[in-house]
């Protein structure tokens, strides 16, 4: 089984290498200078370039794969490897030879790709009950380098080691971009052949269907890679900048901190905590021009937005209901808008006032301490929730009032917002809670 995994990794590496090589074979300067004035000539030039790339791929695959290590041609086997099926077999084999460390690691590696698999959950739970089990055994055997750097960066952040925090998180971000490009290149063969069923299809219909299936795979890469050692970080890039700006600020790198905050907000505008951080920096530095998202973040954001726009168009406008397409609309004929705005139009003046006043914090603290929410306190919680949603433009769910430590296992799928009820920090967002401090918790 280990040899099979090794062969699969070799196959993926060679395919990715060939696609990278052949993508560079074209004369890109000449390609960009193609005239759009004559549609037929442009089409011929464009497809000629694709034919050159196809020839390169044929030759490259022929050179890289041999009888000893042939290419993987069975789609179902490919799916099993991508879903980490070999590790499900490996965990059982390791257990039979009394290797708890590798049995646990293999079971956990399979679980990460199959979090709802009941057998996988039972296997990991079984190993965790063993006498010699340690938390350090819960390691993803397929963990990528950017994950390692990210975890080290977050650890440095928690230890207030700001120098290493910056170094590791910046490396993690750069390696994430590289890994995302590798993932996208591996989508080039994710073709939808169903379009060829039935009557002879039109060329544009075939091309649209094939391109959509490939693009859907590419567009999902960033989301897939936002799982770090089995934990969903939501938006990996935005989350990275959420940690990074703190470390930059503490090392007197204010300009960099402002750019990190702006980058995080561009990628995830529904994060109230980052809105508060920008408000803090605006008050501190007083220069709106500091909040320019980083160029590579802007490029990533624009590409993602346009890809989602394309996929939404296909999903909505090509959807048959009762055997008919939707009625024609103006957007069915207008060109795609490529001018993607990146300006932040949020009104930060409204953040000058805290979400709660001192009297409201006092009333909620009393209700929390004595575990007795009267009608007045109930209405206060609803009012706080309304203020939170209206001020930040988000949807929220009330979790609880508490005076104990923050419960990380709150089943919040996106992010927790912790609002202090303490007299000295009344209405402020918290990342950590002091001993005995009361707070309100929402999921947004």
Q: What digits encode the pLDDT tens for the residues 343-383?
A: 999 999 999 999 999 999 999 998 887 765 566 678 899 99
pLDDT at 173: 99
User: What is the percent of the chain where pLDDT is above 90?
Assistant: 72
Domain span at residue 193 reads 146-300
Based on the domain organization, do 66 and 161 belong to the same domain?
A: no
Report residue 196's pLDDT band, with 50, 70 and 90 as the boundaries. Answer: low
The DSSP 8-state label assigned to residue 397 in this structure reads E
Q: Which residues contact 264 (CB under 8 A, 6 or more apart)?
A: 237, 238, 239, 241, 242, 245, 271, 274
The DSSP 8-state label assigned to residue 336 in this structure reads P
The whole-number average pLDDT for the span 322-349 is: 90
Report residue 43's pLDDT band, with 50, 70 and 90 as the boundaries. Answer: confident
Q: Is the pLDDT of residue 296 over 60?
A: yes
Task: Quick: pLDDT tens for 395-416.
Answer: 999 999 988 776 655 677 778 9
Based on the domain organization, do 153 and 281 belong to the same domain?
A: yes
Q: Which of 189, 187, 170, 176 is nearest to 225 (CA)?
A: 176
What is the C-alpha to C-alpha distance for residues 202 and 188, in angstroms, rounded to an integer? 21
Report the phi/psi class of residue 172: left, alpha or beta, with left for phi > 0 and alpha for psi in -120 to 50.
Answer: alpha
Tokens 């080039």 correspond to what residue? 188
Based on the domain organization, do 183 and 277 belong to the same domain?
A: yes
Q: Report pTM.
A: 0.90
Q: What is the DSSP string of 73-129?
A: --HHHHHHHHTTHHHHHHHHHHHHTT-HHHHHHHHHHHHHH-TT-HHHHHHHHHHHT
pLDDT at 192: 75
Domain end residue (candidates: 257, 280, 300): 300
How many other CB atoms are there within 10 angstroms of residue 304's CB atom?
14
CB burial of residue 109 (10 Å; 0-12, 13-18, 19+)? buried
Tell me if 348 is assigned to some domain: no
Task: Report residue 439: phi and psi, to 5°.
Answer: -155, 160
Positive or negative torsion for Cα 358, 361, 365, 371: positive
> Across-strand partners of 418?
430, 441
pLDDT at 398: 94
Task: Quick: pLDDT tens for 165-181.
Answer: 999 999 999 999 999 99
Task: Quick: pLDDT tens for 65-105.
Answer: 988 889 988 989 999 999 999 999 999 999 999 999 999 99
Query: Which of 165-169, 193-197, 213-217, 301-305 has the least mean pLDDT?
Result: 193-197
Based on the domain organization, do 64 and 123 belong to the same domain?
A: no
pLDDT at 35: 60
* Number of domains comprising the chain: 4
SS3 label, residue 441: strand
CB burial of residue 339 (10 Å; 0-12, 13-18, 19+)? exposed
What is the C-alpha to C-alpha distance for residues 443 and 221, in angstroms, rounded to an integer? 26
Report residue 199's pLDDT band, with 50, 70 and 90 as the boundaries. Answer: low
Domain end residue (candidates: 285, 300, 315): 300
The whole-number average pLDDT for the span 29-43 is: 69
Tell me if 342 is assigned to some domain: no
What is the C-alpha to C-alpha distance for residues 161 and 411, in angstroms, rounded to an integer? 30
Tell me if 117 is assigned to some domain: yes
Based on the domain organization, do 412 and 271 belong to the same domain?
A: no
Based on the domain organization, do 296 and 156 belong to the same domain?
A: yes
pLDDT at 282: 97
Tell me if 335 is assigned to some domain: no
Quickly list H helices, 228-374. Answer: 236-250, 254-267, 272-285, 295-317, 358-369
Tokens 């370039």 correspond to what residue? 49
Q: Is the pLDDT of residue 255 over 60?
A: yes
Based on the domain organization, do 159 and 283 belong to the same domain?
A: yes
Tell me if 190 is assigned to some domain: yes
The DSSP 8-state label assigned to residue 349 in this structure reads G
Based on the domain organization, do 150 and 234 belong to the same domain?
A: yes
Tell me if 334 is assigned to some domain: no
Tokens 């603290």 correspond to what residue? 365
Based on the domain organization, do 95 and 132 belong to the same domain?
A: yes
Tell me if 193 is assigned to some domain: yes
Q: Which CB contacts under 8 angstroms, 24+ apart, belong to 272-277?
A: 272/388, 272/391, 272/392, 272/394, 272/417, 272/429, 272/444, 273/242, 273/415, 273/417, 273/429, 273/431, 274/238, 274/242, 275/346, 275/348, 275/351, 275/392, 276/351, 276/429, 277/245
Domain end residue (candidates: 96, 114, 137): 137
Based on the domain organization, do 395 and 262 belong to the same domain?
A: no
CA distances to 92, 150, 228 from 143, in Å: 21, 11, 8
Based on the domain organization, do 68 and 94 belong to the same domain?
A: no
Based on the domain organization, do 228 and 279 belong to the same domain?
A: yes
Tell me if 313 is assigned to some domain: no
């Amino acid at each position: 089984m280990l040899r099979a995994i090794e062969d699969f990794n070799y196959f993926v590496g060679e395919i990715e290498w060939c696609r990278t090589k052949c993508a560079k074979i074209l004369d890109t300067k000449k390609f960009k200078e193609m005239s759009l004035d004559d549609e037929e000539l442009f089409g011929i030039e464009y497809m000629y370039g694709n034919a050159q790339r196809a020839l390169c791929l044929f030759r490259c695959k022929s050179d890289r794969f041999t009888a000893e290590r042939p290419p993987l041609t069975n789609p179902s086997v490919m799916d099993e490897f991508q879903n980490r099926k070999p590790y499900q077999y490996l965990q059982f084999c390791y257990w039979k030879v009394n290797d708890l460390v590798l049995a646990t690691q293999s079971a956990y590696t399979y679980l990460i790709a199959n979090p709802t698999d009941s057998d996988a959950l039972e296997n990991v739970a079984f190993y965790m009950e063993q006498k010699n089990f340690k938390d350090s055994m819960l390691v993803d055997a397929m963990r990528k380098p950017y994950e390692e750097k990210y975890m080290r960066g977050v650890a440095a952040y928690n230890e207030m080691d700001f120098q290493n925090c910056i170094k590791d998180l910046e490396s993690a971000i750069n390696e994430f971009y590289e890994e995302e490009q590798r993932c996208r290149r591996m989508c080039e063969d994710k073709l939808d052949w169903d379009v060829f069923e039935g009557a002879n299809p039109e060329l544009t219909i075939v091309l649209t269907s094939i391109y959509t299936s490939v693009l859907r795979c590419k567009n999902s890469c960033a989301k897939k890679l936002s799982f770090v050692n089995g934990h969903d970080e939501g938006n990996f890039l935005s989350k990275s900048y959420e940690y990074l700006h703190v470390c930059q600020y503490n090392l007197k790198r204010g300009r960099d901190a402002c750019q990190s905050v702006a980058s995080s907000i561009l990628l995830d505008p529904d994060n109230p905590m980052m809105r508060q951080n920008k408000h803090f920096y605006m008050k501190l530095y007083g220069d709106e021009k500091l909040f320019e998202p980083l160029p590579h973040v802007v490029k990533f954001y624009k590409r993602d937005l346009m890809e989602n726009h394309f996929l939404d168009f296909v999903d909505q406008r090509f959807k048959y209901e009762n055997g008919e397409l939707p009625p024609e609309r103006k957007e069915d004929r207008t060109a795609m808008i490529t001018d993607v705005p990146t300006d932040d139009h949020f009104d930060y003046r409204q953040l000058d006032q805290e979400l709660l006043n001192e009297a409201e914090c006092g009333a909620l603290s009393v209700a929390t301490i004595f575990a007795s929410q009267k009608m007045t306190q109930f209405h206060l919680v609803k009012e706080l929730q309304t203020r939170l949603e209206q001020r930040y433009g988000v949807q929220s769910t009330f979790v609880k009032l508490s005076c104990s430590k923050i419960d990380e296992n709150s089943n919040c799928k996106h992010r927790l917002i912790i609002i202090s009820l303490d007299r000295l920090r009344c209405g402020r967002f918290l990342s950590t809670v002091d001993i005995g401090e009361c707070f309100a918790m929402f999921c947004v």
